[in-house]
Chain A
Amino acid sequence: MTLVKIDKKNWAEGLKAAADAYRLYGPVKGKDYHQFKALEKGETPEFDMVNTRLSPKALLFPQSEEMLEYSLDESREDHHIMKAVARDNTPRAVIGIRPCDAKSTLLVKLNFDTPEVKDPYWLGAYQNTTFIGMACDAPLSTCFCTTAGCGPYHEEGLDMLVMDRGDAYLAKILTDKGKAFADAAGWKAAADDQAAFESGKAAAEARMVSSIKTDNLADTDLLELHGAPFWDDIAFACLNCGTCTFSCPTCWCFDIQDEVHGKAGVRMKNWDSCMFPIFTVHTTGHNPRDTKTQRVRQRFMHKLKYFVDKYEAGIMCVGCGRCVRQCPVNIDIRRVSELMNSFKPADACAVQG
């Protein structure tokens, strides 16, 4: 691990140099919020924000992604034979991802990169990407990363962590990929200011006001929690829209769809959501999660219980707070996790009794 000091006047220069070797992505302000996008030549990421409104998950898991292509033209020898769509596998770098979002890539990786099967689209994009993180010095009141397995200076999932020191950036190079990027950007001025990171981290963590408790989730019986009495109350307001799942950096569910234009067809992956009734409906019309309550329960149980039990890697949430901020009816995962974590099956019996 090395520390590098980047004079702010060398920042844009460095990115410009790196752009020769990398496709660069970063947060840019649109009409009224920031979003990750491919940076045009000379464009620099904009950090006058705490985080982007939607998570950067689309960089690895686009909302719509063509996977396979085929022709239905029977005069062609290869008609009806599916082929993988060619992809741009040249290196790219995401500049200014927040530590919470970087951590989320590791949780999502558990789904797409398994011992038995690997998703070549997600994993290909992941492997080609260098993650340059920007430490988060002013977390929002709805952020709870420090109690969701990461923090404003968390390093997991990052190749380089950059902090803002006013007139300069201080970068901590965490991996070989991070080193290669620093070299490409010409950021070489060694620094010896580890203490700055320590104090920056402590100050940022001290600013956190939200927290969640998750310590009892693993030991609570799955079926008891599933049958807990609070789900109807939590779910009542829910519109069953996809705002929470689509803005969540860790939600990975998708649909597979064929689309044909003329004789040319593609098979694509589209974001899907456990909030949508058709997500689970059988061809017969039977729907195992037919009610709003069942779907809301699925979302929170997946994040806070099933994932916990399945992977023993904590909760499927990094505390970015997007679902809290975006939910049109204010369903708040902090409140739900409190109910789930403090749930005692015996209480339920007492109430019923």
Chain B
Amino acid sequence: MQNPYLPYPVRIDDITVEAEDKSLKTFTFVFLNEGDEEKFAYQAGQFAELSIPGKGEIPIGIASSPVEKGFVKFTVNRAGVVTTHLHNMKVGDIMGLRGPLGNCYPWEALEGKNVLIVGGGFAFTTLRSSIVYMLDPANRPKFGNIDVVYGARSPGMLLYKNELVEWEKRDDINMHITVDATSDPDWKYNVGFVPPITEQKAPPGGDDTYAIVCGPPIMIKFTQPVLEKLGYAHDHIIMSLENRMKCGFGMCGRCGIGKELVCKDGPVFTLDQINKTPREY
């Protein structure tokens, strides 16, 4: 019987400070044991438990993409006990990784469709995974237009800046980067909150277009009416929920929203599905 509580041992291979306030770091892990990477086969939208012996575990969306091999990457906001400890760890340190967990974005349903990605703040991680996945030469033909609205408080708080610049240059993805405010005179992208930028830049909804929305609650609250106005049906709006989790595979009971468990039946739900649950997240 496989033990779902037992993490794969991993080594921290790289740490990148992502945000100007140093609250966000991206950790690259490599698996210590041969074969574990294959067992950890995942899809964009899934999460894993970062498992630190002596401290505990924390569920984090997988920021690397299934098309990237040899490592897995997570961007972690320093907030609680485990993440604060993780932020103080060094390259070479050993810890655990448990997963992949949860469902992924509905890649089968998305095939042949236009995809609008709306992201805010540090919730951009699994969206990065998704973009890298869709832009992979083997996958790009499977999707229609790809639009990305991504916002952060300031330019220095944007994640994955080098990649954003690269994507900005491509013609097979429409990037709409925005910041709440900036004093940088050379800032050449948008200024404004995500919902109004979405309203201005996002393509209209329809049967062939899906929106994937990930961000802080306030962004989600104000983006939802914008998407409705743009013609996105509730079953075409895809969201990733967060709730307090422990086991990550549907047994410990705390992340339930009605009969659904965010860790196992989610974290990805359509707005249509979410509307049928008590909103306890």
Contact = CB atoms under 8 A, between A and B. Distances in A.
A/B: CB atoms within 8 Å of each other: yes
Interface of A: 67-68, 70, 72, 79-84, 111-112, 114, 116-120, 123-124, 222-223, 226, 252-258, 260, 265, 267, 272, 274, 279-284, 286, 288-289, 294, 298, 301-302, 305-307, 309-310
Given A81-B9, A258-B54, A274 B253 contact: yes
Contacts of A301: 258, 278
A16 B256 CA distance: 45
29 contacts: A67-B5, A68-B6, A70-B54, A80-B93, A80-B96, A81-B9, A81-B94, A83-B6, A84-B5, A120-B3, A226-B258, A252-B251, A253-B252, A255-B246, A256-B5, A256-B252, A258-B56, A272-B252, A272-B253, A272-B254, A274-B254, A279-B254, A280-B254, A282-B244, A283-B83, A286-B217, A288-B257, A288-B280, A306-B259
A281 B244 contact: yes
Contacts of B54: 70, 72, 258, 260, 265
Contacts of B56: 256-258
Nearest to A253: B253
Interface string B244-277: 1011011111111111000010000000000011
Contact of B1 (A123, A257, A272, A309): A123
B259 A283 contact: no
A114 B250 contact: yes
Given A256-B56, A283-B79, A283-B80, A116 B95 contact: no
Contact of B253 (A119, A120, A252): A252
A223 to B, nearest CB: 7
Contacts of B277: 222-223
Nearest to B255: A280
B281 interface: yes
Interface in B32-84: 32, 51, 53-57, 79-80, 83
Given A67-B5, A252-B253, 15 more contacts: A68-B5, A80-B9, A80-B53, A80-B95, A82-B6, A82-B53, A117-B251, A119-B4, A226-B278, A253-B253, A256-B56, A256-B57, A272-B252, A272-B254, A282-B243
A81 B9 CA distance: 6
Contact of B246 (A252, A256, A309): A256
A256 B253 contact: no
Closest 9 CB pairs of A and B: A253-B253, A306-B259, A283-B80, A80-B94, A288-B280, A310-B259, A70-B53, A283-B79, A117-B249
B245 to A, nearest CB: 10
B94 A289 contact: no
Contact of B252 (A72, A226, A255, A309): A255
Contacts of A67: 5
A67 to B, nearest CB: 5
A84 B79 contact: no
Given A80-B95, A283-B80, A118 B53 contact: no
Contacts of A274: 253-254
B115 to A, nearest CB: 28
Contacts of A83: 6
A294 B258 CA distance: 12
Contact of B281 (A111, A119, A265, A288): A288
Contact of A284 (B57, B79, B95, B279): B79
Contacts of A80: 9, 53, 93-96
The size class of the interface chain B forms with chain A is: 35 or more
A309 B253 contact: no
Nearest to B261: A310
A79 B7 CA distance: 14
Interface centre among A84, A256, A265 (most CB of B within 10 A): A256
B111 interface: no
Contacts of B281: 288
Contacts, number: 131
Interface in B171-209: none
Interface in B202-241: 217
Nearest to A276: B254
Contacts of B243: 280, 282, 288
Contacts of A81: 9, 32, 53, 94, 96
Contacts of A124: 1
A119 B53 contact: no
Contacts of A272: 252-254
Nearest to A257: B56
Contact of B53 (A114, A254, A265, A302): A265
B242 interface: yes
Contacts of B7: 82
A153 B53 CA distance: 47
Interface centre among A252, A288, A306 (most CB of B within 10 A): A288
Interface string B1-40: 1111111010000000000000000000000100000000
Contacts of A306: 256, 258-259
A223 B278 contact: yes
Contact of B258 (A84, A123, A222, A283): A222
Contacts of B6: 68, 82-84
A124 B3 CA distance: 11
Given A84-B3, A288-B281, A258 B259 contact: no
Contacts of B278: 222-223, 226, 301
Nearest to B265: A310
Contacts of B83: 283
Contacts of B280: 280, 288-289, 294, 298
B54 to A, nearest CB: 5
A302 B256 contact: yes
A166 B144 CA distance: 78
A222 B94 contact: no
Nearest to A263: B54
